A and B are shown apart, each in its own frame.
Chain A
Amino acid sequence: MQRNTISNQHIKALLVTTIIGVGMLSLPSELAMILENDGWIAIILAGLMLIPFLIIIDKLFSMFPNKSIFEIGREVMGPTIFGIILIIQAIYTIIVLAYTVRIFGEVIKVYILETTPIEVIIITMLLATAYLSRSKIEVLGRMAVMIYPIIIGLVVFLLAVTLPDMDYTNIFPIFNADYKQLPRGIMTAVFSYTGYEIIFLCYNYSDDNKNTLKYVLRGLIVVTCVYLIVFFTSLSSFGIYQLKREIWPSVAVVKEVNLPGYFLENLDGIMLAIWVIAIYASLTSIFYIGGAVLSNISKTKTHELFILPLIPIIYTVALLPDNLVQTNEIMARIISYAAIIARVILPIIIFISAIIRKRRSRA
């Protein structure tokens, strides 16, 4: 029996369940606003962009087998610089959590619980999340595998109920967008891949590190496909003009559906109920990252200590913006910039300094 290790299958499920979250609801309209009908190009390009980073991570971990990202970072960059990076990462994680839980609260308030104050929704969700994120990574992995089919089922459900009412001509014209906007579109799409950092934390726990990259890439393909399906279903059901007006088009699409002979009338409620599970999975993983980062800054043995104290902080940050517009503008922007540091620059810096370190030690 292997203890404290997880299989590649768990890592793949963790990757998929962590990434798919709030982005699933808002991505189509955000992309449509920037790139019109060609938003899908941004999704694919953003997915492709991540591949080199995943390969870098794989290389990094194979250079330092059986070491965690924290050990590697401290070894190659020195404790001070790495400490600063960790602090940035911690702040970034807290903002991501706050943003996710805020959007979650807003969506639930609009579609499921109109009269319940958003504070209640946020705090209950955070408490429920804390229950799981206090456990070890293997438990998170097991949970991810259990949730994985539910999320895939959710997407299949979305596709199945919207398929009869779709108008495929809405997809056209393709390749017609203003390509100067492409970088902005990609930025938005990359934002929806938030949470792939969980890979940093579970890579070294894999029981079969040779094949991990393969599984991670498969997970990335699954995520990209999910986003493409969400984008195309919303686009073909609404058409580009209406799509731009919707905040959460994937829910709105389902709300329009009214199949005869159905036991359930408003499918959006059902979809969002299942979507709660998806959000829970991403929140726990990011929460775990936050706890792990903080425990490494303060050099405690377990990350559990930091989970409960983080709740009031996240709660406060989540309620800072006055409304949804502010949330999307301020928080999303901060996250986008912080994401560049946390996800693009960080692996590259560690990787380069690791290579330098290795060369030096050889010479």
Chain B
Amino acid sequence: MPDALLLVSLVGLPFAAALIAGLLPSASRNLAAGLAGGVSLVCLALVWAAYPTVSAGGVLRAEFAWMPTLGLNMVLRIDGFAWLFTGLISGIGALVVLYARYYMSAEDPVPRFFSFLLAFMGAMTGVVISGNLIQLAFFWELTSLFSFLLIGYWHHSAAARDGARMALTITATGGLALFGGVLVLGHIVGSYDLDVVLASGDLIREHPLYLVALVLVLLGALTKSAQFPFHFWLPHAMAAPTPVSAYLHSATLVKAGVFLMARLWPVLSGTDEWFLLVGGAGLITMLMAAYIAIFQNDLKGLLAYSTISHLGLITLLLGLNSELALVAAVFHIMNHAAFKASLFMAAGIIDHETGTRDIRRLSGLNRSMPFTARLALVAAAAMAGVPLLNGFLSKEMFFAEALTAETQMHGLLNILPFAAMLASAFAVAYSLRFIHGAFFGPDPVDLPRKPHEPETWMRFPVEILVLTCIVVGILPAATVGPFLAVAVQSVLGENVPYYSLAVWHGFNLPLLMSVVALALGVALYMLLATRLRRGLDWPPLFRGLEARRIFDRVMVFLSWRMARRLELIFGTRRLQPQLRLIVGAGIIAGAAAIWAGGIGPGNLGASPVDPVLALVWVVGAACAIGAAWQAKFHRLAALILLGGAGLVVCVTFVWFSAPDLALTQLTVEVVTTVLLLLGLRWLPKRLPDAKGVAGGVEGGTEVMTLGRRIRDLALAVGAGGGLAALSYAVMVRTPPDLLALDFLARAYSEGGGTNAVNVILVDFRGFDTLGEIFVVAAVALTTFALLRRFRPAADSVEVPEQQRDQGDGAAGAVMTGNGEWRPGSDWLLLPFTLTRLLFPVMLVVAVFLLLRGHDLAGGGFAAGMVVAIAIILQYMIGGTDWTEDRLRLRPPLWLGGGLLIAAGTGLGAWLFGRPFMTSYFAYAELPLIGQVPTASALIFDIGVFMLVVGATLLMLVALAHQSVRAHRAAPPREKPPAMARRDPAPVAAAAGEG
């Protein structure tokens, strides 16, 4: 099998399977478990297939271009060390899946569980076989994310949510630091490729930025491996389902930290800083966590602290700056994975079959579940370091290292052997507590469930793991010897020291230390046994130092108190100050640019003033100022003035040779005005005198208001003056050619159209237009969704006065069946007839505009607007009911169809092997009509057209319907009018208010 395929499937398969598992129905527990188990076994087979290469000292490597311009490639590589880890991940993964199949209750959404588990497996594999540091950091964060999801799987429980959040906060923050560290490393070395980095050890260690890189990388590694002072997230992660704990805390998540430290060991270690930081953290963690573990009353809590302690041991070994210690660390990583996974599973079995994990309530399970008891006993003995089990071997190596470690700081070294012995004694004590507390003593009383042996297959993974512990413990050299050698060699290269994996090394100091530690541990447990049985909430000496409480306090301070304070100082929830700041900042930025860069006179003289345009703009300016003046009390007037200003803009476009713009501006203007008119109906009445009186009573507010107005006026004048000066400065300079020339030159020859603007929109920059119409569609749908839930304010519900005037008793009005007045049938008769006549004409105009768009002014957008205007005109004059009786509009269909056509045209290019949105054109010769452009851009434009029709109608009709709805809902009469003829248009109602 080619390397690349193997490597990609190793990472990709779990992710793909996660996706599939996530889509399975939530009751399909067996199917999801089968999928997960199958994938882990396939991965295990793949790992095995890589063994021949790896054992020969080779490296499997695959490289894919990612951002070649930056020298970044996706690199997957497996050397011996990564191979060992992939083996642990997929091997223990398969066992955990089998275990989880029986552990998880059928009521839980199990496929989701397996989906997360698989994704986590993929992310973890990604971490260990990444050959690029940035890629490694990426997968690293993915493991944080998926472990968050796994820990919070039972999201109905607050403990699970809090635990998951805490784990994510700590490990993802660490991941961020790691990313920073990786960037520094890349900066030092000049490459992110792992192989290059690993070959530059001396360069890194002697670089001035070494300490920065080291601290950042260690922040990542130590948070992940739950080392002091970041250890506290791990016990809270025990809220996860037990299979998750067994997986995350034995072979995977927390091992990622020690994996990274070992991976970068050749380049980062060997300095005093490394010894102090890594060794110090490991030493403190190992002792402290082992001590706390003794006093845990929860089986999983005990295992959690024991995990922290063992990780501390591994970290300490890595910190000793000795090759032999590294060998011991790698060996212990494997051993710990085996016995800790089996112990977690055993704890899960006890929990599953008895309903509790509280050591104080459990007792004498040896009789009801003898087989599980034996298995747990062996695994716990391995954890305690009893001879003939795997834990003993690596512990012996650790003791030997503690005795022989060398560094300049001798003071620390003197306490090392004693610390090692003490931690080992603690380990014996908590292992004894686990076994003795749960399995020995009198029969348990009053357990939630009657204890019994679990299903055979649930116990099977534990059996495999315990068997491993025994076999490795008895025959280390023959079983794990080769694997360990391969792993160690890939880290150390030629510097692999001599080590012996024998069980018996003769009577020496490490053996003596083991014996002392065993004796000490047993004595300690016997001393504490009765007190522990009574139960302590928290270990003595550490009562005030619960890290979780400190963490909570910090989080509250950071995310609540400090955030609130900063918000009070720097933030506001009021819109006006925000806008003021933005406008002010804009003015200052513009002024600063002019002040810094200077601004000279342009190279073009001003062209002579045309009196007609000047007059037009006098009107335009008057309209704008009038609109600003009247917008508060005379909304209708302001709206009309706004329309006037819009028309002036439109005239300007025509004047300066932009027919397309004028056309679009005109149609948009009409639709905007209608929209705003429809909205007027729902705004509160505001009369000038009411405000005047209120202001007059309190003189202070008036002064404040006046001050605010002067300030706003200054801002407005500043912004207006600034933009005027800026546009003048721009206009008196020769515009740069930029792309214009290119577009002009190619519009016909390559786009097949003579209207360059349209060709740019539908062809050259068609992708932009596609994005734009998606925005329009999104806006229309949002509008529609918002209006479905629209509840008008209380004072807008009544039928407005103006509408009533036209109803009750007015000339020609008729009374409907339920006593409601409706305008008579001859109401607005003349416009009504005219609009009906205009309707087909407008549709023809629209089609005309659409078809000629590519060559002449027009295009899908303007055409769509014209259709929308034609239809809304019928609504305005004929009324909602009348129009909808005769026209079946399906705006959503138009909208969706338009999007599909436009996007489909773009995708169509793929069928011809061209890039997305490539267009095609030709001129077809039709009899009578002549040359007709048949560009694929036309189809695209038809999509735009349909979308614009759909979106505009959706918005307008949704808004117009509000009036009808409120109408019917408002008066509490018996029934809504079933036969309302020509419902008075909402616009007519709205227009009256102002």
Real binding pair: no
Which A positions have Cβ atoms within 8 angstroms of B? none
Which B positions have Cβ atoms within 8 angstroms of A? none
